A and B are shown apart, each in its own frame.
Chain A
Amino acid sequence: MTTAPLSFILESAHLQQLFDALARHGYHIIGPTLGDQAIIYDEITSVDDLPVGWVDEQSGGTYRLHQTKTPIYFGCTTAVQSWKRWLHPPTEVLWRARRTDSQFEILADEQPTPRYAFIGVRPCELQAIRIQDRVFLEGEFVEARYRARREAAFIIAVNCGRAGNTCFCASMGSGPEAREGFDLALTEVLEGDRHYFVVKTGSAAGQALLAEIPHQPAGDAEIEAAAHIIADTSAHMGRELNVDGLRDLLYRNYEHPRWEAVAQRCLSCGNCTLVCPTCFCVTIEDATNLNGDEAQRVRKWDSCFTMDFSYIHGGSVRYSAKSRYRQWMTHKLATWVDQFGTFGCVGCGRCITWCPVGIDITEEARLIRAADNQTVVNKKANHDESV
């Protein structure tokens, strides 16, 4: 038998003490803050850095912020970039090498592992982190740099009090409530003059940290208020994706005419892969210094929307925009399931919001389902004398 985790109350007036406790423990606090006309997750030091009163409005191809009079700390849904930027950074030096005559030696970049405290991790984003864990930690090989950052991180999730217009976490089973994988999980409650957080602990580290700041056990009414907020969010999802038999649907429809239709709109810009919290693909760039005696290998985020991505001698394997969009969407919703036992999509909606032309993964899946098996026959011939 499992007992439900205990809930506590943290008054909003004491939120700064949470920041102070994290700082005392040497964490770099990363949380939502106002960037250039958008919320970003960046280094912050106090509650004043949070986007107090700001509310975002997201929809296909658009993002807007507006300020309200409500003193809400976590009123915005997902930021432009996810926490991927911190755990799996956009560029990273893998190693350097120095040449002496005809030989070279490998030099390590022994950087201390940053200890991040993430505050404001949305449930879908939490799920995305766990999906990247499978890629980097649970295969045959372990990505040591990711592991070090991941193990050092302290995670404070915030349950969603409002779903954005592009959100569909309820369809993907990832939100709007964080169920596991956090140290602390907060639900922000604003009731008349009262402003507090219902807090759940998810780890011993979370309990220990909570012990350092003022808190009290939550009463039934407060627990009820938090549950009501989450249920209301769940009932008001911006989008929906029917995942029933989705993997097989996409496998069956690899030659569906919809792929060509979406390719007409897709700019192959790769925005969707960059903002997606689960997309993990990288490339490696080699560089040398001017004398040519020191070289480094730098890992950078890559996107399956580029031609280089699938380049092998003789040309790119996926030369059409159609095949690249198909790779992306089929990876998220079908092949990922075979590879990692989960969808590669958590329903955060970023790819819809940040697509310059507003292509919507939920709509594309719906249209394919609506015309299931409407296949353009485009198989390779089985007779060819030019082998």
Chain B
Amino acid sequence: MVEQALFQDQLVADPMTSTPFRIGRVVKESYDTFTLELVPQGRYQTFPFAPGQFNMLYVFGVGEIPISISGDPQHPSLLVHTTRAVGTVTKAMRALKVGDAIGVRGPFGSAWPVKEARGYDVVFVAGGIGLAPLRPALYQVLAQRDRYGKIVLLYGTRSPEDILFRSELEKWRSRFDLEIYVTVDYANSKWHGNVGVVTRLIPKAPFDPLNTIAMVCGPEVMMRFTALELQKRGVPSDHIYISMERNMKCATGFCGHCQFGPTFICKNGPVYPYNQLQSWLALWEV
């Protein structure tokens, strides 16, 4: 057995091998959610990706998990991920510091239909951490603002303390060409905004249903009810896009874990037009 450090370009051949990236900055978004800015290394000068795509992030000795890219596709010199600490790997990731290394494989999967949405009103509907995978699409749409009709962001989260990317949302809110509505499940006395589920924001949101592309990301049940609500307003089911989550061990189609009916979420998804999955989403335990 020959043991040697692999040259980076040898790694290209094997989609299962990670490349260590250095953590350049850590941002605490909320009590359980944090953003890591990674500096591409090795064979990566930059890290080009499409909004909606994800990476497999490896914490040394602990494990590897799928996390969507949450940064700006126009600035591929940084690789940005926003993660909610929920379990073994994400908690170990939260303990990492600036200068530490994290293993990266990717980018994998399908993208939000940012180009296809040109000429349409664009409605983003985010639930909780679901805002993170949508942010790259928001950046891209805003960078070419005049190519789109109305732009609306509907964002539901647990409590006012859980609001992600707060200063950025405030900055965006001051723009006249973007409407942002935020709702929380549980409010404190300082909260003067909406309370309740995000689907309640849909009936009165300002967009033309017949000329809209919707991009929806959040828990599966939230995405399903959002799609139903959007359809009620007249948005065609093939103009609604959702991003699916399943257990993933490989992201390359080899491990079988991410199957959802006839599709593999790692290769056919994670972003799908809703009409493609609609009948499967109505079933239990697929």
Tell me the A residues contacting B by CB distance below 8 Å. 94-95, 97, 99, 102-111, 135-136, 139-144, 254-255, 280-284, 286-288, 292, 295, 297, 302, 304, 309-313, 317-320, 322-323, 326-327, 331, 334-335, 338-339, 378-380, 382, 384-385, 387
Contact = CB atoms under 8 A, between A and B. Distances in A.
A313 B15 contact: no
A284 B255 contact: yes
25 contacts: A95-B17, A97-B61, A97-B103, A104-B101, A105-B5, A106-B6, A106-B18, A106-B19, A109-B3, A140-B252, A143-B16, A254-B283, A255-B283, A282-B250, A282-B254, A283-B249, A302-B249, A309-B247, A310-B257, A318-B285, A319-B285, A335-B261, A378-B283, A380-B282, A384-B225
A380 to B, nearest CB: 5
Contact of A312 (B61, B199, B246): B246
A144 B252 CA distance: 12
B20 A286 contact: no
B262 A103 contact: no
B20 A106 contact: yes
A198 B228 CA distance: 64
Interface of B: 1-6, 10-11, 13-20, 22, 58, 60-64, 86-87, 97, 99-101, 103, 197-199, 221-222, 224-225, 228, 245-247, 249-250, 252-257, 259, 261-264, 267, 281-286
A106 B5 contact: yes
A381 to B, nearest CB: 10
B92 to A, nearest CB: 10
B285 A379 contact: no
Contacts of B20: 103-106
A23 to B, nearest CB: 24
Nearest to A337: B262
Closest A-B pairs by Cβ, 8 of them = A281-B256, A323-B285, A338-B262, A288-B61, A295-B61, A141-B252, A110-B2, A335-B262
A310 B246 contact: yes
Nearest to A331: B259
Contacts of B257: 281, 283, 302, 309-310
Contacts of B262: 334-335, 338-339
Contacts of B101: 102-104
A140 B253 contact: yes
Contacts of B64: 284, 286, 297
B61 A287 contact: yes
Contact of B222 (A143, A144, A302, A387): A387
B39 to A, nearest CB: 12
A310 B250 contact: no
A107 B60 CA distance: 13
Contacts of B256: 280-282, 302, 304
A368 to B, nearest CB: 16
Contacts of A139: 252-253, 267
Contacts of A107: 3-6
B139 to A, nearest CB: 26
Contact of B197 (A310, A339, A379, A387): A387
B125 to A, nearest CB: 12
Contact of A97 (B60, B100, B246, B284): B60
A287 B282 CA distance: 39
A379 B282 contact: yes
Nearest to A285: B63
A140 B252 CA distance: 8
A387 B128 CA distance: 12
A280 B259 contact: no
Given A94-B17, A387-B197, A380 B283 contact: yes
Given A103-B101, A108-B4, A302 B255 contact: yes
B181 to A, nearest CB: 16
Contacts of B284: 323, 378, 380
A143 B13 CA distance: 9
A319 B285 CA distance: 7
Contact of A106 (B11, B222, B252): B11
Contacts of A385: 197
B246 A317 contact: yes
- Looking at A287, A317, A385, the one whose CB has the most chain B CB atoms below 10 A away is A317
Contacts of B5: 105-108
Given A103-B20, A103-B101, A320 B250 contact: no
Given A104-B60, A106-B18, A110-B4, A313 B87 contact: yes
A105 B3 CA distance: 12
A259 to B, nearest CB: 10
